[in-house]
Structure 1
Amino acid sequence: MQASPAFVLFGGVHLLTLALIVVSALVLPLAVCRYAPAALRPVALALAALLLAQEAVDVALQLWRSGPSVQLLPLHLCTLAVFVTVWMLATGNQRAFELAYFWALAGTTQALATPDLRQGFPDPAFVFFFAGHGLVIVGVAYGALALGLRPYPMSMLRVGLTTLALAAVVFGVNLWLGTNFLYLMAKPAGASLLDWFGPWPWYWLGLVAVAMVSFLVLYAPYFIADWRAGRRHGRPRLPPGGTPPTGL
């Protein structure tokens, strides 16, 4: 049996895969809005179903290869982002979009850029890794560009507190099961952003700092758009409390 090719960070296949994800994330929602607006909801449901299907097949494949394992628990942030994105696409829920938006664009993009992956294309591990992570990015882009969902100022606080609470729970699970979900117990084996932040547990501080900066950067386009809209109309787009007009 021929061995799978090794994954090459920022090699040709990696860069081509990233480009395909970016193009899909932009073209799909814009094309549906322009050419098939009546299909907005069906396409959202189809994306949700596709995300669930790839996750189920990936888990089944891992079970077939290695058998049952605590490593299959859905406690990595990118796996949780899959289910939150499915929730958002299926329901249009604002809270789900907030989580998916910040988790995907601050976390899943990091996983795509520096994946904890040894196998290259066409190994199933490569295919399912990039399919799952890439579909999350496509789903979030669809929520923003096609479904009209967006974050608000309080979204950053809500997502930040939710993420910290999740990390506290997962840390306890890691201690109990000897796992490394959320990479709270050790850095990924391959090169990653965490390599810049020192040894365990000090790299946690770097993670928190990067998350805070990422949230601000990701909200900046909406802040600028709201500010420009307020100047054009002579009034703020959001009420003083910074919450959505619908009470979300």
Structure 2
Amino acid sequence: MNYFSPKAVPFETLGMAHLFAWLFMLLVLFLILYMYKCLPHVLWHSRWIWVIILIVVDASLYVWYLASGVWNTATTLPFNLCSLMLYFTIWMLIRPSPKLSGIVFLLTIAGALQAMLTPELFYGYPHYRFFQFFIAHAVMICGQMHLFFSGFIRFHRFTFVYAWLFLNGLAGLAWFINEATGGNYFFVHRKPDNASLLDLLGPYPWYLLSLEIVALIILAIIQCVFVYLQKFFKCGH
């Protein structure tokens, strides 16, 4: 087969390739934990690995968009949650910001985990897009966990609320971009075409109201879990 063809290749949710992608990410996360425990002097400097991978993987995607003739403003602008958080993750890895680190962490973990669980992906294994998609999202999570174990993620009592408000601001901006391009960034105009967690939240537009509540709860849960892990691993400043 042509691994770079613009023709869709069926993707099997929770198929063997999907599960292996999760397994690979978990193995890398264990490696980060090992470095935190046994090679702390190496951990922070090795962040450049994630920076380089994210830049290369993201740049390759836009090269593929242009080369395959599928680039268009309705579907391929870098204006979905994970695309934006990829850029924020690169920024945090290069120059951590105490004020933004917790917000970016929560949104990246929430968005990337959901994307890896129910991908909006129309290219299955072994197509290039399959590898690009899962490498990008897995490395975003690994990059944020790298920051977490390096002690650069700061949570305050209402960080999850600030993350939720920031998410709503991005979604509001996405609505205007969708109106201009005919797109569906942040899924504010309709549900994704593939099966997703949004299918459990009712029809359009009511699922948007349900999503507001669910998003706030998920962000709060993630913050609680990682605040506990910070204390358990003693990795906060």
Map of 1:170 onto structure 2: 174
Q: CA deviation at 1:151?
A: 2.2
Q: How far apart, in 2, do the equivalents of 1:79 and 1:118 lie? A: 17
Q: Which residue of 1 aligns with 2:194?
A: 190
TM-score, normalising length: structure 1: 0.84
CA contact (8 A) 1:194 1:206 kept: no
1:54–1:128 Cα contact (<8 Å) kept: yes
What is the match of residue 54 of structure 2?
51
CA RMSD, 1 decimal: 2.4
Of residues 150-159 and 125-134 in structure 1, the stretch that sits farther from structure 2 once superposed is: 150-159
Q: Do structure 1's residue 73 and structure 2's residue 84 form an aligned pair?
A: no
Superposition TM-score, scaled by structure 2 size: 0.87
Q: Structure 1, residues 125-183: CA drift from partner, whole Å, max 9, x if none?
A: 10111011111111111111134423221311221111111111111111111111011
Quote the residue 2:39 is aligned against.
36
Contact 1:106 1:215 in 2 (8 A): yes
2:230, 2:129 → 1: CA distance? 42
The one-letter code sitting in structure 2 at the alignment partner of 1:75 is F
1:96-107 aligned within 5 A = 96-107=100-111
Gaps of 5+ in 1: 229-243
Q: Which amino acid aligns with 1:207?
A: L
Matches of 2:12 and 2:100, distance apart in 1: 34
Structure 1 distance, partners of 2:97, 2:211, is 27
Shift of 1:226: 8.5
Q: Does 1:138 align with 2:171?
A: no
Structure-to-structure mapping, 1:88-99, within 5 angstroms? 88-99=92-103
CA distance in 2, matches of 1:223, 1:35: 22
Cα separation, 1, equivalents of 2:9 and 2:230: 48
Q: Say whether the 8 Å CA contact 1:4–1:119 is kept in structure 2.
A: yes
Q: Which has the higher contact order (CA 8 A, sep 6+)?
A: 2
Partner of 1:240: none
Q: What amino acid is aligned across from residue 154 of structure 2 in structure 1?
A: R
Determine whether 1:109 maps to 2:113: yes
CA distance in 2, matches of 1:99, 1:158: 7
Distance 1:54 1:4 in 2: 20
- Bigger Cα Rg: 1
Unaligned runs of 5+ in 2: none
Letter paired with 1:44? R
